[in-house]
Structure 1
């Protein structure tokens, strides 16, 4: 049997644990259902991906300063030349594969600051190369959101149109693509790929108030908030500091969690401002690490999307500091829609009230989370079965068994 050559693509290995968790989930699926597959990656941090996951990896961009501001003539020329070189490099990489998978991530959204000629252009090159060379590109459980900026919207729309397979992690994502002119009639909605990862055992509540996990983020608003990014960040940070200080005054231990290397500056700011031995920071490098921290806590407050998923999957009631529709959709789907708070306007007094209401209902919410999590896991298995049928070459293997 000729091995199936599978490529995975995205901002993987770049310090975002949510993105790497999506890769981990896809690799688990491939190893279980396509063990003959030969897998490699085109990604943001190839050294990190190879070291952690044991697969060969190639750098996504030829120009290493792609995501730094080009303030000098040499940098501007380097970026321009890099766009041309990347077109060739991407096509050559795609040509070597039978299937290319983009595992989860918000690849069709701009809910955080994003330049069109960065990742959106790279994704367009991938999908266009796949269509031209006959290699199916699968966008699997991806996130999408309406995009106002014309160039980014155009690149995202054409990337989606050129992909051979699309599925979304929530209905809002599918609707966003439809509103941008993509035919989504045959596209399905499945849970985020993180629901395919194993969960740790949960610590039993002690009966006395315990640790609160607070997931933080270097949050400056979205793509449309650049003019007031610092104002948004200051309001988010001040509100979070005041909330953490209120918990400490009640004697509650607080565990600070991150989801990206960029978040460490926020951790440092909170530790300096509150200055209490009750506030500690966890060293986490994977979704498994985050889930262990969440499982050991009584409750949580979090802003990053995959911090929320880790709390929900661990059975830990959580208040979402929501900055995008994806967080709202996730909380509604898991039965915690009442426990959302705007990340752009953190009101520590109101947040504390929501947090106390969350803890009063904790026992009931844990039961709800267990039921919703089991249903999401079953749906994700159906997603993998559909993916095998849709884009993998016929190998004589039986389809994945679906649970009822």
Structure 2
């Protein structure tokens, strides 16, 4: 049995690698006999990191998809045109091919949208109406599919990374150090002209003075994020961490007292580990996650002010004990929801196998 997985894999983005690790782990637990093949920008690296067969996401895609028992698109926000039309066209193109060449197809815990271009919206409707099984990670994605007139049943699950387990805290103790003071994690990425950084740093610096906290900047996609993380950390007398595996980064987040994040998976890890999050909202997925867990600590980047940052971070600090208790219950249900996508994939494959045998 062969399962082919397509996503933004092999590019060094810690969030996407966390999604892949969680998907592969969940599938292996349920379908141990399956061979998992991943379409990757760095096939050898993907094979080494995840113990799967890695093939080129360009030249290796067609041979891998042909005859596959299941083609999975996801997770992550793949079908969107916020950055360019190319991303949505690539993933919809592969999914469309798979509806013809593979035995079954699945959208796995994906974020969908935004889709602004009319022709891409029509293409998405056409392709997704041919997919065997659709699961999305949030309610906003379900609503967009409904708006696009996707008639296939759509099930809302949760981001696959909610099913990850961090490495033991002892394995990251040297990275985070002895807690001499409260620790605030800041997960940044480049955005527009970088004008958000000055008010963010000024506001965080003021909040840290009031709380007596230190800052640890977390680079989830080092190639893109490290420079801005180092710049912010230096400005606040903190330090930056990069180059960690998904489970190591999750353990680091779990050792913090508060997380301020642009990167979605910094906030996913925070929720999963019961660490109060503050979202830096540059994309609807950030607001969507925090709304789902009932923690509406959001700082919209376009209107960011130093005083707004100070006030929101201080408020999150003051309510941290109550929020931790709420997140503990949320984390359990989100983990179950994340694993439900793998359950559905397993049921789909079993039903197809049973149909062939009958």
Q: Determine if the TM-score, normalized by the shorter chain, exceeds 0.5.
A: yes
1: distance between equivalents of 2:180 and 2:326?
Answer: 22
- Is contact 2:109–2:136 with CA below 8 Å preserved after alignment? yes
**For structure 1, which segment, 122-131 or 300-309, has the greater mean C-alpha deviation from structure 2 after superposition?**
122-131
**For residues 49 and 193 of structure 1, what CA distance do their matches in structure 2 show?**
17
Paired with 2:230 and 2:145, the residues of 1 have a C-alpha distance of 38
Q: Deviations over 1:205-246 (max 9, x none)?
A: x998511111111122xxxxxxxxx2xx32x22222223432
User: Contact 1:201–1:295 (CA<8 Å) still a contact in 2?
Assistant: no
Q: 1:242 to 1:156 in 2, by over 3 A?
A: farther
Per-residue deviation at 1:248? 5.2
Distance of aligned partners of 1:313 and 1:207 in 2 relative to their CA distance in 1, 3 Å threshold: same
Would you tell me which structure has more strand in proportion to its own residues? 2
Give 3-state SS (helix, strand or coil) of 2:274's partner: coil
2:187 to 203, 209, 215: 215
Of 242, 248, 254, which residue of structure 1 is paired with 2:215? 254
Residue 74 (structure 1) aligns with: none
Measure, in 2, the Cα distance between the counterparts of 1:200 and 1:94: 33
Say whether residues 1:372 and 2:330 are aligned partners: yes
> Please, which of 355, 363, 388 is the counterpart of residue 321 of structure 2?
363
Contact 2:226 2:242 survives alignment (8 Å):
no
**Distance in 1 (alpha carbons) for counterparts of 2:168 and 2:321:** 16
Say whether 1:322 aligns with 2:289. Answer: no
| Cα distance, 1:102 vs structure 2 | 2.0
Contact 2:140 2:288 (C-alpha < 8 Å) held by counterparts: yes
Correspondence 1:4-83 to 2 at 5 A: 4-62=1-59
* TM-superposition CA deviations, 1:139-177 (whole Å, max 9, x none): 111001232123443443334233221111111101112
Give the Cα separation in 1 of the matches to 2:236 and 2:182. 19
- Taking the aligned partners of 2:33 and 2:166, their CA distance within structure 1 comes to 27
Report whether the alignment pairs 1:122 with 2:81: no
Does structure 2 retain, via aligned residues, the 8 Å contact 1:124–1:158?
A: no
Task: Give me the TM-score of the superposition, normalised by structure 2.
Answer: 0.88
- Alignment partner of 2:342 out of 374, 384, 388: 384
- Kindly report which structure 2 residues correspond to 1:195-206, keeping only aligned pairs within 5 A, or say none: 195-199=162-166
Deviation at 1:202, TM superposition (A): 7.6
Under a length normalisation based on structure 1, what TM-score does the superposition of the two structures give?
Answer: 0.79
Report the aligned-residue RMSD: 2.4
> Which residue of 2 is the match for residue 264 of structure 1?
226
Residue 202 of structure 1 contacts residue 315 of structure 1 at CA under 8 Å; is this kept in 2? no
* 1:256-300 superposed Cα distances (whole Å, 9 cap, x missing partner): 01221311121233245x163xx0001243332222121111111
1:145/1:173 contact within 8 Å kept: yes
Q: Give the Cα–Cα distance (whole angstroms) in 1 for the partners of residues 109 and 138 of structure 2.
A: 8
2:160 paired with 1:188: no
Distance 2:220 2:119 in 1: 28
The answer to whether the 8 A contact 2:8-2:40 is kept is: yes
Aligned mates of 1:97, 1:134 — CA distance in 2 = 5
Cα deviation, 1:46-101, whole Å, max 9, x if unaligned, reads 22211211222112134xxxxxxxxxxxxxxxxxxxxxxxxxx5433211411111
Which 10-residue stretch deviates more, 150-159 or 286-295?
150-159
Distance 1:283 1:359 in 2: 25
Q: How many residues align?
A: 345
CA contact (8 A) 1:90 1:125 kept: no
Gaps of 5+ in 1: 63-88, 221-229, 397-404
> Do 1:94 and 1:135's aligned partners in 2 also have CA atoms closer than 8 Å?
no
Unmatched segments (≥5 aa) in structure 2:
171-177
Q: How far apart, in 2, do the equivalents of 1:45 and 1:392 lie? A: 31
Query: Paired residue for 1:75?
Result: none
Aligned-pair distance for 1:200? 5.6
Q: Which residue of 2 aligns with 1:93?
A: 64
- Check if 1:340 corresponds to 2:302: no
